[in-house]
Structure 1
């Protein structure tokens, strides 16, 4: 069904792929007491005791660290729930949803991929933009190739990877290249932003154009290089409850956590911008 495998994660069962990044985000989310106003109700006004059962969230790969942290918070707040995530490229997730894959919530890295779901009638109501993200160049630690600009990526002999153009991070990278009048033939196109970053982490590429949140989550495994053209390609992240959500009440409650001040602190701590 999809061109790339979905990375599924049940919060209680799996260890996050980037433990240090998630630990930092969990510390941020712990700064707010679960006894606050948003812990007492979901968007429908139900008490926390009424939010129960599993909730399945399909989320863009770039949300892996922040949503994993929020999933931990959600389960602590609602002990009778369990959150399972599928992280992948937004286009693959949207295709899965429109093909009938069961899920409660979809969080996309662009309005365009969310439109695939809404146009098919698979969203329950209008999506809400909850975060924004900007591109950075990820280089090897120490930046041995001395990359300082988007133009540097066009140098002969440099191995650069991009996300596929159908994926939001790839579409944004192409928009930035177009804005600067540059042409770039990458060594490979990757199916999601985590795959592109991994090429650099494994030293299979000299650089990748990814999101600033992914550079931050990688810590000292890569070095980030900002470039001004990224301002021309900032992505809005929408989230929506799905029309056929098996556990709509829990799905609504998770969306409310994402949009809450606590959720926004976790997201901005991961490098996202507020909408």
Structure 2
């Protein structure tokens, strides 16, 4: 074999070896790149990020039973999360939020109250109506005063309490009374619907105009009396994610649960009307 042939073969072998090394290097670089991409979180992995932390929900008092149930369900679906609630009259909640109280979600009992918040502190998203609610008269068990209409509450006998005019249940009661050309001076105005109902439950009042959901939640502690004028004063309930929510990701997930078929089932079973 001549020297020139040997030299050619040697060069071919060296070239093949170099090519193999380059290929191996490329594969290793690709693997490292994929590993780094996976470690830093690809769009797919970030989309399925685990929720954690506390979600603070400010909600109308009439939502207490149903939202508490949904909060428990949310925590079970997302281990590592905790839902804390502040239930009160929508107007006082709105004042707290606009005053700087930290919260993730606001669920109000009327669009007007929600607007008081969004006008001063824009929601991250547009408020969505998730349920509606209708008024009902709550009387003492057995209805001893034989209340059968809104007009019966204007008589001198029954001691009646109403929600304050500034809260949604009170505004709705005033609207229903106006629709019937009735005037009613209650024994007291209460700060929220639960406070009004409690007066009847404790027998400190004979009747109260509250929401049908509250009458249902009270069970046999009160008796409910429907009245036609309530159809003219149905309240829509909006919910929104608040600006600068401390836990926006979990808050969005909670709102999604409330508006889902599962959430709507819990709410309608509590007596709420569909949006």
Distance in 2 between residues matched to 1:121 and 1:220, nearest whole Å: 41
Distance in 1 between residues matched to 2:217 and 2:156, nearest whole Å: 29
**Runs of 5+ consecutive residues of structure 2 not aligned to the other structure:** 1-45
1:239 aligns with 2:230: no
Could you tell me which residue of structure 2 aligns to residue 38 of structure 1?
none
Could you tell me which residue of structure 2 aligns to residue 173 of structure 1?
173
Could you tell me which residue of structure 1 aligns to residue 193 of structure 2?
193
Q: Deviations over 1:40-60 (max 9, x none)?
A: xxxxx943x521111000000
1:37-186 to 2 correspondence within 5 Å? 46-47=47-48, 50-186=50-186
Distance in 2 between residues matched to 1:250 and 1:264, nearest whole Å: 19
The answer (yes or no) to whether the contact 1:133–1:212 under 8 Å persists in 2 is yes
Distance in 2 between residues matched to 1:237 and 1:189, nearest whole Å: 22
Could you tell me which residue of structure 2 aligns to residue 227 of structure 1?
227
The answer (yes or no) to whether the contact 1:98–1:122 under 8 Å persists in 2 is no
RMSD of the alignment, in Å? 0.9
Q: Deviations over 1:222-261 (max 9, x none)?
A: 0000000000000000000000100000000000000000
Distance in 1 between residues matched to 2:138 and 2:166, nearest whole Å: 20
Distance in 1 between residues matched to 2:244 and 2:66, nearest whole Å: 25
Could you tell me which residue of structure 2 aligns to residue 265 of structure 1?
265
Three-state SS of the structure 2 residue aligned to 1:50 is coil
**Runs of 5+ consecutive residues of structure 1 not aligned to the other structure:** 1-44
Could you tell me which residue of structure 2 aligns to residue 7 of structure 1?
none
Considering only CA atoms, is the larger Rg found in Structure 1 or Structure 2?
A: 2
Distance in 2 between residues matched to 1:46 and 1:225, nearest whole Å: 49
Distance in 2 between residues matched to 1:161 and 1:241, nearest whole Å: 33
Q: Deviations over 1:192-215 (max 9, x none)?
A: 000000000000000000000000
The answer (yes or no) to whether the contact 1:138–1:197 under 8 Å persists in 2 is yes
Hey, which bits of structure 1, 4+ residues long, moved more than 4 A?
Answer: none
Deviation, 1:66, is: 0.1
